[in-house]
Structures are given as C-alpha cells and as structure tokens.
Amino acid sequence: MAVSSGCGVVRGFLGVLNQAFPLHTARSVTDMEAALQLVRNVVPPLAAWKHKGQAGRIGVVGGCPEYTGAPYFAAISALKVGADLSHVFTTQDAAPVIKSYSPELIVHPVLDSPSAVQDVEKWLPRLHALVVGPGLGRDDVLLENVKGILEASKTRGIPIVIDADGLWLVAQQPALIQGYQKAVLTPNHVEFSRLAEAVLGDPLDGRDRYRSVQRLSQALGNVTVVQKGEQDVISDGGQALTCSREGSSRRCGGQGDLLSGSLSVLVHWALLAGPEKTNGSSPLLVAAFGACALTRQCARQAFQKHGRATTATDMIRELGPAFSRLFETSAGADGGVAPTGELRL
C-alpha cells in the first residue's frame, strides 16, 4: 500500500501509540490518524451561544524595529486558527508598523517602556495563552522586561509558548521556565543546539533526536519541547513523538512563527478540554502535534499553488482550509481512516 502523505512516528503516545513505527507503513498512517483524532477532540465547537473571547484570547510578546513580520505572523495565525482576540505587546517603534499590517490585531506599544511589565501584567487576567519571542531581538532592556512578563505569567498559570529570541533568553537563564509545565519551547535546529549546550552542557546528538529532545525536556523539569525540522520531534520528557507529515521544501522565514501562534490556541483548547479528551496523553503534546501537522499542511497546500515563490503569507492564507482538512472532516485528511476501516490514501 503506497502512502503519499507524510506519516506520524510515535513513541509512547497513548496506549495505542506506544512504539516507534517505521515510516510509510499502514500502521503509521493509523497512528497518525489516531493522533489527529485527539487534536479533533479538543477543538471547541462553533456555537451560537458563545461570546467573543471564549474561543481564545492570545497575547504575543515580541517584535522590535528590525523584526515586525514575526509577531504579526504569530498573532494573525492565532486568529486564523480560531482565537477570538489576538494582542501584540511590542516596542513603540514596531507597533504602528504591525498595526498597519492588520486591523484585526490589538497592538500595545509598551515593550520598551520602563513600565513594560506592569503594562502587560494588566492584560494577563484577560489572556488564555502567550507566545513569547517572535521578532523580539536581543536588546538587554527588552529581554529584562520579558523576563518580568514571564515571571508574572507563570504566577498566574498562563500557558506560554516560547520561540525565537524568547529561547535565546531561556538559554541564558534556564531557571526562568524550569519546571513550568505549562510552557512549550519550539526551537529550530540552531535554537535547539543553543539550548542543549546551555542546559545539558553538550551539543546536539544528531544520531538520536528523540533522546536529545527527551533529555532537554527532562533537564528543564518536563517542559514540553518541539524540535522543528525535517521531522518535528516533540517530548514532555516522558513521551516522545514525531510529526513528519508532508510539508514543503521551501524554507522561507516565518513558518516557525505560524507554528507558535497556532500552537498557543491549541494549547489553550487542549488544556481546557482536559486529559479525558486526549486519552490521558499530555494536552500540550497533543496541541504540539496538532500545530506541527497544521503548519506542514499549510506549507504543502501553499507550495502546490505557489511553488518556489511560496512565502509565509501564502501559508497563512491556507490556515483555514488546512485546519478544516485536518481537524474538521470525519475521515480526516489524506491518510485518514475511511468508515469501512480501510486506510484512505
């Protein structure tokens, strides 16, 4: 049986997904479908009785004069996945630029103010999840403010996705998120190596990515880690899984920002749904798997239309159709299980 789409390789994920499976087997397609089904379980239904905000109020902490695209990509992705409100906390200079990209974002020009921590803290009771780091840069004043925002968010138990320069900060001060089990780190290859050196004291062991990701997660007190790459490897220190669905070979900037913004919404939904909806698996692992699958599906669909010209903006346009395809159809996406129990390829 030929498998045209990428398949999930899962280790210790659920009762049914408890081993590493070879790629391109019927079994791995079934595992992939099982993992996607868990994501579907946590997606809240759209209903007429719901009020604005219930599907998610997300905050993105990032952006600086050099990088205005990254926080925009993360914040707009959160909205397109289904959050109702998306805030960006950024610097004074970056704010009007980010506002000009989209009237849908609520943009606060506070991140380089002396009262940055208090300014953001005022909003924390109204936020369900934060993304910290896209386009933040490495200015010491900003990083110090973000440190205060992280501390305040942890005190309130807010789920935090840490990406990009937020990971730079964590590599300098791992104690900042040590043991905070509502944190998800989303390093790319270089960010992962930096974290591994800082936290484990040794560079990336490319031979066993599962083990490296698992070890980093354990050393950080079981914080969930998503190592992005040709395959995305996800672990909470106990379980580990990969997402290797077909994406694209375009490596344009902004794809990680799309992932972190999407993930923040899925994390909120998964925590709200609770472990009974995720079959006892960590809600954060399920959310991370969902965000990786979704990002790769967007890449695949955008690449089919735009080929080499594909950019992050093209991928963001695919978020709605990709989400429906993966999470809103009864048989799922390519490789889903047909009602007869046969694998549909």
Ligand X SMILES: Nc1ncnc2c1ncn2[C@@H]1O[C@H](COP(=O)(O)OP(=O)(O)OP(=O)(O)O)[C@@H](O)[C@H]1O
Site string for ligand NAX, 278-317 (x = CB under 6 A): ----------------------------------------
3-state secondary structure of 11: strand
Site string for ligand X, 149-178 (x = CB under 6 A): ---------------x--------------
User: Measuring CA to CA, which residue among 1, 40, 25, 4 is closest to residue 331?
Assistant: 40
3-state secondary structure of 162: strand
Residue 228 contacts which entry, ligand NAX, Mg ion, ligand X, none (Cβ below 5-8 A, type-dependent): ligand X
User: Measuring CA to CA, which residue among 324, 280, 337, 238 is closest to residue 28?
Assistant: 337
3-state secondary structure of 343: strand
Judged by CB under 6 A, the stretch of 1-9, 39-47, 144-152, 182-190 that binds ligand NAX is 182-190
Residue count at the site for ligand NAX (CB under 6 A)?
16
**Cβ-based nearer residue to ligand NAX, 203 or 253:** 253
**Cβ-based nearer residue to ligand NAX, 278 or 295:** 295
User: Measuring CA to CA, which residue among 231, 216, 205, 223 is closest to residue 293?
Assistant: 231
Which three-class secondary structure string do you get for 97-130? HHHHHCCCCEEEECCCCCCHHHHHHCCHHHCCEE
Site string for ligand X, 281-320 (x = CB under 6 A): -----------x--xx------------------------
Residue for token digits 């019927």? Answer: 26
Are 64 and 139 contacting, i.e. CB atoms less than 8 angstroms apart? yes
Task: State which of residues 82, 109, 254, 261 lies at the interface with ligand NAX (CB under 6 A).
Answer: 254
Residue 237 contacts which entry, ligand NAX, Mg ion, ligand X, none (Cβ below 5-8 A, type-dependent): none
Task: State which of residues 8, 69, 82, 109 lies at the interface with ligand NAX (CB under 6 A).
Answer: 69
Residue nearest ligand NAX, Cβ-based: 69
Summarize as ranges the residues that interact with Mg ion (CB under 5 A): 164, 256
Are 98 and 73 contacting, i.e. CB atoms less than 8 angstroms apart? no
Task: State which of residues 229, 311, 343, 344 lies at the interface with ligand X (CB under 6 A).
Answer: 229
Per CB under 6 A, does 256 bind ligand X?
A: yes
**E strand spans, the chain:** 9-11, 57-61, 85-90, 106-109, 129-132, 160-162, 183-185, 224-227, 232-235, 240-243
Tokens of 156: 């309130």
Which positions touch ligand X (CB under 6 A)? Answer: 164, 188, 228-230, 232, 247, 251, 253-257, 259, 292, 295-296
